[in-house]
């Protein structure tokens, strides 16, 4: 579909360059500019649409809450595991470097 806009824009510019009527030239130039803009916007819309994800993959609020709870539980387990490692007496008496 975007290529139709481009072909129409080129046709309008061709009419604008070949005509002897000032009114037709002004109309054709404005139409060509509008069709070029429509071509660019349509091309960009296709690119954005092709890169969007699947709507079915959107996480609902209940699933998001469950994932957050799992992440918090994992973080708490990691903090608990790292704090349970005791320092040796040599490390506790030495001043930090």
Please give the tally of structural domains in the chain: 1
Entry pTM: 0.55
Please report whether residue 25 resides in a domain.
yes
Please report whether residue 95 resides in a domain.
no
Please report whether residue 15 resides in a domain.
yes
Please report whether residue 93 resides in a domain.
no
Please report whether residue 87 resides in a domain.
no
Among 83, 64, 65, 86, CA closest to 75? 83
Average pLDDT over residues 55-83: 87
Q: How many residues does the chain have?
A: 97
Residue-wise pLDDT tens digits, 15-47:
999 999 999 999 999 999 999 999 999 999 999
Instruction: Provide the residue range defining the domain that includes 23.
Output: 2-82
């Amino acid at each position: 579909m975007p290529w139709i806009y481009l072909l129409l824009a080129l046709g309008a510019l061709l009419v604008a360059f070949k005509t002897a009527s000032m009114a037709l030239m002004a109309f054709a130039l404005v139409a060509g500019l509008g069709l070029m803009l429509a071509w660019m916007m349509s091309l960009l819309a296709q690119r954005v649409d092709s890169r969007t994800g699947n709507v079915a993959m959107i996480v609902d609020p209940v699933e998001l809450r469950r994932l957050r709870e799992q992440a918090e539980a994992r973080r708490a387990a990691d903090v608990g595991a790292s704090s349970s490692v005791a320092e040796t007496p040599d490390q506790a008496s030495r001043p930090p470097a």
